[in-house]
């Protein structure tokens, strides 16, 4: 098959990989698919068990892109605490991620990204790289060719404004008085997804203060015209949404000049209290790096010195996002995923035949039970009467448990034979009731909030990067439906509404959109097992359409893959990409649930996983198969390449877990 070119990006569409032409005594073709699967399960199980922490959790590296590393250096420069060893280690990592054309991408094999390239370039200059060095000159030339700093996203220009490399007046206005808007007013802070909300509140303080630290060097080489670095941008028509919000922003700039000082000061102090109240026990905010960075800056601008307990804890938490590599490079994680990784690892090991009372599984269950959140968080603004009981994604994030983790933790706990079953049942009961209470009015589930679907936040000039709302998605809804079915609630009206939503959300070709994983393969791999667990027969038309789609997009090498470009260029890239272990696992999970164990597609997928497994029982996967914001922010979960292939192979060898009797229904909600 001849590769084609996507004219929008210049990227080459991958041909279906050719099947291997040679075999040896260890290949599936030589020893039989079933035997090869059993061998792969054994090796993968040993590998995953060896990676468990002594406390019972698993956590793989969470790799994103170099903007995390660049912004960490910019923060330290702004606070006056940037040290040479830190800058050197960060620069080592950033240089290693530069592409041949001088750019930086936001995912493996992706196109160069303007904002990421600008931020990486500035970070390397902070670390001492000369603008005349070949790798720097190549980057700056590419930046100028793409419009320079003026064409970068708002967040990049905010970072540059902190040092006078961009004018604050040429940025969208974010008034701190936003904190006073009641929840029934459009564009109140709870109209934003929790990740955006946690970022916007501290940025209102930064926007009001407009700080400028002396720039350590000029950046003229990143402007198309240094004499006019901020060219005029024409206004959109007033009758359009973009035009309306541009004019609102213009009015907010005018309001800044006349805003009562006492009101503004009070608003900033209220925002500061909001921030401090949401600082986690480990010093972080929301368990993710961006809100922590902006919260530290905002509080510092309000007079909190670096020795203040809140600031000290915040800075210490940021240090824990650093991953030090063997070559001395330092990578910053945007987030850490121990709860998510632990529940998925538990499911994988249980489905791969590890006994339900195995010490590793019991220890994992003990740790997960200790992570359940039993106090209200921001979600209770929309659900004030709902008792808490969810789980978060991270080590410390009590303010923002999420629906996806809660569903998967329940599924994981049900696979463990614990020495205190009453404790497990009580924890599961709280989790199920919380998830049921977080159902949106359309019958589906979002990740963190209820009915977080306002159309207005994404229209703001400030919000030009990534999703800022949290609408229901097929993958999260599927995980909840699967969990409810296992809990004996398949026929509960709330579960049936979720099933109906999923059936309506199916694409015409038989796939489902994947909001939190790449992409249609992930969505389909999540939904099909859930629908079957909830009682839909494998002969159901929706299941058969999904099976046909997965068969159609299977690569010639037997695996499945999907490139992140499917979020932007759906027609060309849906279900297309180099085969990966995690995505092959997702596809197999759907096909196995659909009763296709003995099909040629499943056999070839299992053969591919067995043949590509490394001697230590792991799989290699440089591709990004996790999603933060579709297209804009992508994630390589380093444990995905282990847990999903093992789950799929385990179900191939030992059968589907849905044959088990469902648990007693949890009442209430």
Domains of the chain and CATH, by start: 34-60+337-455+469-659 (1.50.10.20), 63-225+246-332 (1.50.10.20)
Joined tokens for residue 39: 């061998």
Model confidence, pTM: 0.92
Q: What pLDDT is stored for residue 243 in this prediction?
A: 76
How far is it, in rounded angstroms, from Cα 292 to Cα 285?
5
Active site residues: 404
Whether 428 and 487 have beta carbons less than 8 Å apart is answered as yes
Mention every residue, 6+ apart, whose C-beta is less than 8 A from residue 243: 235, 236, 237
Pair of tokens at residue 528 = 């099909």
Residue pointed to by tokens 């040629």:
600
pLDDT under 50: residue ranges of the chain: 1-25, 659-669
The alpha-carbon radius of gyration of the chain (Å, integer) is 25
Number of residues that make up the chain: 669
Measured in degrees and rounded to the nearest 5, phi and psi for residue 397 equal: -165, 60
570: helix, coil or strand? helix
Neighbour tally for 395: CB within 10 Å:
18
Determine the pLDDT at residue 658: 57
Distance separating alpha carbons of residues 411 and 343, to the nearest angstrom: 8
Q: Across-strand partners of 470?
A: 452
- The helix/strand/coil state of 571 is helix
* pLDDT for the residue numbered 27: 65
Beta carbons within 8 Å of 627's beta carbon, 6+ residues apart: 514, 515, 516, 517, 518, 519, 522, 564, 567, 633, 634, 635
User: Given the structure tokens 């028509």, which residue do they identify?
Assistant: 237
Determine the pLDDT at residue 578: 97
């Amino acid at each position: 098959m001849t590769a084609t070119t996507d004219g929008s990006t210049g990227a080459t569409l991958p041909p279906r990989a050719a099947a291997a032409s040679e075999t040896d005594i260890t290949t599936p073709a030589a020893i039989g698919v079933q035997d090869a699967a059993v061998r792969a399960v054994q090796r993968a199980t040993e590998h995953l068990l060896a990676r468990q922490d002594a406390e019972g959790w698993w956590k793989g590296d969470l790799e994103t892109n170099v903007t995390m590393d660049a912004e960490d250096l910019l923060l330290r420069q702004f606070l006056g605490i940037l040290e040479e060893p830190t800058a050197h280690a960060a620069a080592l990592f950033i240089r290693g991620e530069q592409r041949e054309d001088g750019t930086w991408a936001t995912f493996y094999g992706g196109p160069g990204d303007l904002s990421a390239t600008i931020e990486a370039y500035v970070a390397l200059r902070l670390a001492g790289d000369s603008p005349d060095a070949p790798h720097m000159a190549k980057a700056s030339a590419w930046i100028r060719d793409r419009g320079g700093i003026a064409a970068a996203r708002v967040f990049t220009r905010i970072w540059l404004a902190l040092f006078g490399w961009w004018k604050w007046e040429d940025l969208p206005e974010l008034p701190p008085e936003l904190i006073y808007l009641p929840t029934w007013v459009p564009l109140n802070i709870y109209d934003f997804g929790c990740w955006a909300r946690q970022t916007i509140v501290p940025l209102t303080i930064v926007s009001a203060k407009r700080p400028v630290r002396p720039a350590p060097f000029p950046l003229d080489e990143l402007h198309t015209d240094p004499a006019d670095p901020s060219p005029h941008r024409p206004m959109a028509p007033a009758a359009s949404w973009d035009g309306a919000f541009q004019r609102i922003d213009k009015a907010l700039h005018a309001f800044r000049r006349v805003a009562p000082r006492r009101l503004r000061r009070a608003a900033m102090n209220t925002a500061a209290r909001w921030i401090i109240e949401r600082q986690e026990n480990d010093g972080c905010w929301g368990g993710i790096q961006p809100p922590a960075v902006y919260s530290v800056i905002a509080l510092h601008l309000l007079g909190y010195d670096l020795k203040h307990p809140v600031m000290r804890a915040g800075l210490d938490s940021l240090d824990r996002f650093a991953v030090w590599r063997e070559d001395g490079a330092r990578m910053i994680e945007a987030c850490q995923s121990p709860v998510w990784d632990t529940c998925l690892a538990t499911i994988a090991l249980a489905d791969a035949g590890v006994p339900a009372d195995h010490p590793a599984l019991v220890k994992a269950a003990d740790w997960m039970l200790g992570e359940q959140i039993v106090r209200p968080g921001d979600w209770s603004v929309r659900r004030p009467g709902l008792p808490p009981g969810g789980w978060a994604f991270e080590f410390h994030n009590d303010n923002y448990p999420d629906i996806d983790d809660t569903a998967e933790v329940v599924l994981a706990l049900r696979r463990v034979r614990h020495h205190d079953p009453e404790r497990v049942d009580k924890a599961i009961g709280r989790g199920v009731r919380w998830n049921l209470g977080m159902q949106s009015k359309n019958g589906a589930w979002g990740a963190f909030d209820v009915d977080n679907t306002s159309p207005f936040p994404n229209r703001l000039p400030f919000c030009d990067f990534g999703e800022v709302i949290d609408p229901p998605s097929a993958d999260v809804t599927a995980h909840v439906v699967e969990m409810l079915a296992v809990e004996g609630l398949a026929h509960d009206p709330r579960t049936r509404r979720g099933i109906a939503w999923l059936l309506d959300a199916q694409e015409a070709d038989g796939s489902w959109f994947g909001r939190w994983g790449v992409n249609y393969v992930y969505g389909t791999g999540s939904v099909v097992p859930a629908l079957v667990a909830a009682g839909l027969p494998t002969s159901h038309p929706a299941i058969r359409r999904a099976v046909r789609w997965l068969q159609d997009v299977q690569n010639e090498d037997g695996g499945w893959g999907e490139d992140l470009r499917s979020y932007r260029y759906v027609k060309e890239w849906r279900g297309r990409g180099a085969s990966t272990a995690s995505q092959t696992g997702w596809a197999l999970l759907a096909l196995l649930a659909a009763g296709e164990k003995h099909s040629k597609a499943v056999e070839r997928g299992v053969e591919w996983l067995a043949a590509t497994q490394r001697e230590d029982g792991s799989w290699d996967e440089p591709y990004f198969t996790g999603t933060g914001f579709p297209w804009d922010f992508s994630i390589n979960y380093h444990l995905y390449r282990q847990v999903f292939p093992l789950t799929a192979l385990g179900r191939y060898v030992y059968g589907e877990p849905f044959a088990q009797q469902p648990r007693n229904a949890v009442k209430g909600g």
